[in-house]
Structure 1
């Protein structure tokens, strides 16, 4: 308990008493806090019990035994709100950024040796991860946070008030592991949470390196690493659970899930730029070993441009590596994963045609419309191409093989009108027309049921709880209260008059729009009418000119 404290900043000193294990320069933090704060800030008028606050933040009614056996130091720090202090969060992000920057070479080598990514792919992953840290750090504005905390004291509504959830538990995806760990970790720290990250003991150099770097950089009272999946239900119920390899279409309220097994589709129509489509799809399919959840699993190509598209794909593939020849032959032994994927596809479609195969990637054409084949997630660097006849044909094919689950993403290469039609009827969580953003190929899929922001994979709001507070009444509320205060009052009569007023209708064209089938009917009627008039006119002319001779 603390009496007579300064709200929002009392933890500047409370944390200093608990930070012995962190190795952070506490004197510097205390001095920084003193420099930012005014000595005449309002004082608390009530006693604050941190355990009670933690319970209300999480939204549960128990806090005695929860997490007692799983990471007790994390439980204690969450109850003490140790990570809430904005200066503490700044320091943690500073040490995290420094640790990443100082070990860039080691991280790059670990990614290259463990996953075989190119230097360009490693550079993209590192850049996106460090950019996320910089953005999270820039969001920590002490003066702004102080103003937001004292909105009620200034007689202003705090409609957007938020508080840290308490604990964040991250189960990262193996795809681009570095990004998948660092980005949600940074967001969790920036929002004042204690964080636990799952990094299993395996032969991957990157996992061991991350365990070493993060453990040394971050405060062990508010950060921990799990060697195996946490199964403690009490812990999982209290924590914000970031599951990057989930198959749950409807996650719980405290889960931030990324669907890992849902397919991604692409449609190349004859109205689109075939060369541009091939360039984008080859990059998306084969970058990062073809393991991105947003790599296109099946590419549907209009049969009129299929050959042109395949030739463009081969041209783009030649740029990826040497030793490429046509009709499935290669120079050198193909990788086992590529062969396994092709063998799996051939079992479902014996007429499968291998368009191109190299040691690290392949392009195949499916002839069968087996739903199990078209719905599966491709796990290797294999581009699967399938022809369609019309827009309606591809719409029916995609939707009928989707197992009533929207595609993770859809890429449409066509003119704007066709793209609108495809987007309207092909169910997908996100759709991109005539381009594929490179940033979505890094990291896990966007959180299920959350808005998609290409610049921010994990918005900070995901790790906070809404706690709005209002001090002033609205005009509507005042009018309603006045009406309820006395029966048969003018205010009540006014409300009744508003309730019985007719709906203000929008003005519309009386005839409405001309639909698709109406357009076809009118076009056919016009052709028939034009033909009839032309024939009738010619007949009358001929009869007038030659009729006398016949009669």
Structure 2
């Protein structure tokens, strides 16, 4: 696959896209079956290579391999040959096929280094399952995993449909394609811990997420906003939990630059007095004292946990710069507070009172598509809508047909045009709105204040007047 020139690879891919073999459901099933079998055969060498590249724990290596095999299995089991065949002949049976989708043609993949096995296989397998050819950028590296990945892909997949490029792709020479760039991970992830949260549970989830995979996941929390009333307890809990997670080593190959950059940012902030750093040698809690600190606004890698305090939910929201979108938000609070935070924090994904740890495996989710769970990609992302319509009528179609055909009949033209114009300006029925339909977070406060005002100022005089009136008539009645 890699022995042929780059130009030859593009020609072969283009020819395969044109011949359409990848759109066949049986073909897709066979490709996924072969891929899963190749991964299974090389399980030991794959896991050994991941461990060498990342210095990760055995559990982390096993988790990545399991999740990689899982995405292939799910894609294979999701293919419905009978259902797909039935949909293919809907039009032949004079029925609409409004949900029809077709493969884009070619998927170009630029992979990340974080959990590299899953990141590459998950997107490659999904693109294949959607009926596409694939061009994978795999530039020369010192990673032990890359040569094994080349073998797995070469041995298991159609070499006319899946190519590996040793250099960056020249997009000007490609046919219609979709580009998946996993290296763009600038979006930050945020966690908010309110005073109404289960503090120990929040601390456990956040510390585990930050420490897993040496803090390299784009979905590890980059900033934690904690209510000042529970901040001390939260930090104590984080420290205790971190002390029980031992054996963490820095990544020697793939994350050395990012880790060094993070350490330099922390060191500069400490020298300026913006933060107070403490904790374990391999896990530092950064207590942010200056809200203008660079750490509040930038993504930070490594096993650092930046924490900043807030006085309220509104203050927590105001800490964030306007028009900032987060890749994910982990909101630890009671349900009403989670609703408020989710409404005012712009997060591509928001999770209430938990961090799904499978999210830590793989690249940042693509923002151009609806989020896919539990895995990062789905086949819809690699297809385009191509509906086929048989039905000729819909609401308003008869009026339109009359109007457009009446222009050829001068006798009817004026009458028809006046008729459809009258239809167009008919009044819409205003919706019926029940009283109190818009009572929300702030409205409840207003109503509560109004209720207190009535109870303390209006009700007592009326109550006293009623009591005096009743007493007066009671005395008159007794005199009789």
TM-score range with shorter-chain normalisation? Answer: 0.7 to 0.9
- 1:238 aligns with 176
Among 278, 282, 303, which residue is 2:203 paired with? 278
Q: Are 2:188 and 1:267 equivalent residues in the alignment?
A: no
* Cα distance per residue 1:396-415 (max 9 Å; x no partner): 11235xxx331111111111
Distance 1:214 1:186 in 2: 10
Distance 1:264 1:376 in 2: 10
Cα drift, residue 194 of structure 1 = 1.2
Distance 1:422 1:242 in 2: 31
- 2:341 aligns with 422
Distance 1:338 1:357 in 2: 16
Aligned residue runs from structure 1 range 15-414, under 5 A: 71-235=10-174, 238-246=176-184, 260-321=185-246, 341-349=262-270, 350-351=272-273, 352-358=275-281, 360-370=282-292, 372-400=294-322, 404-414=323-333
Cα drift, residue 281 of structure 1 = 0.3
Q: Aligned pair count?
A: 443
Aligned residue runs from structure 1 range 455-534, under 5 A: 455-476=374-395, 478-484=397-403, 485-486=405-406, 487=412, 498-509=423-434, 513=438, 515=443, 518-519=446-447, 521-522=449-450, 525-526=453-454, 529=457
> Normalized against structure 2, the TM-score is what?
0.84
Distance 1:427 1:375 in 2: 15
Distance 2:294 2:386 in 1: 46
CA change 1:528–1:474 in 2 (3 A) is same
Cα drift, residue 206 of structure 1 = 0.7
Aligned residue runs from structure 1 range 4-23, under 5 A: none
Contact 1:70 1:232 in 2 (8 A): no
CA change 1:177–1:517 in 2 (3 A) is same
* Cα distance per residue 1:212-242 (max 9 Å; x no partner): 221122221111111122134232x622111
Distance 2:266 2:450 in 1: 47
Consecutive unaligned residues of structure 1, counting only runs of 5 or more, are 1-20, 22-66, 247-259, 324-334, 541-551
Contact 1:157 1:471 in 2 (8 A): yes
Contact 1:338 1:362 in 2 (8 A): no
The structure carrying a bigger helix percent of its residues is: 2
Distance 1:490 1:421 in 2: 55
* Cα distance per residue 1:105-145 (max 9 Å; x no partner): 11111111101222222222222221211222223333322
Q: Are 2:356 and 1:437 equivalent residues in the alignment?
A: yes
Consecutive unaligned residues of structure 2, counting only runs of 5 or more, are 249-255, 407-411, 469-480
For the residue of structure 1 that corresponds to 2:183, the secondary structure is strand
Among 429, 445, 454, which residue is 2:373 paired with? 454
CA change 1:478–1:392 in 2 (3 A) is closer
Contact 2:269 2:293 in 1 (8 A): no
Contact 1:264 1:410 in 2 (8 A): yes
Distance 1:94 1:447 in 2: 26
Contact 1:164 1:192 in 2 (8 A): yes
Structure number with greater CO (CA < 8 Å, separation at least 6) is: 2
For the residue of structure 1 that corresponds to 2:102, the secondary structure is strand
Distance 2:38 2:427 in 1: 65
CA change 1:281–1:213 in 2 (3 A) is same
Distance 1:172 1:344 in 2: 26
CA change 1:473–1:348 in 2 (3 A) is same
For the residue of structure 2 that corresponds to 1:245, the secondary structure is coil
CA change 1:118–1:480 in 2 (3 A) is farther
Cα drift, residue 393 of structure 1 = 1.2
Contact 1:348 1:370 in 2 (8 A): no
For the residue of structure 1 that corresponds to 2:285, the secondary structure is strand
CA change 1:397–1:287 in 2 (3 A) is same
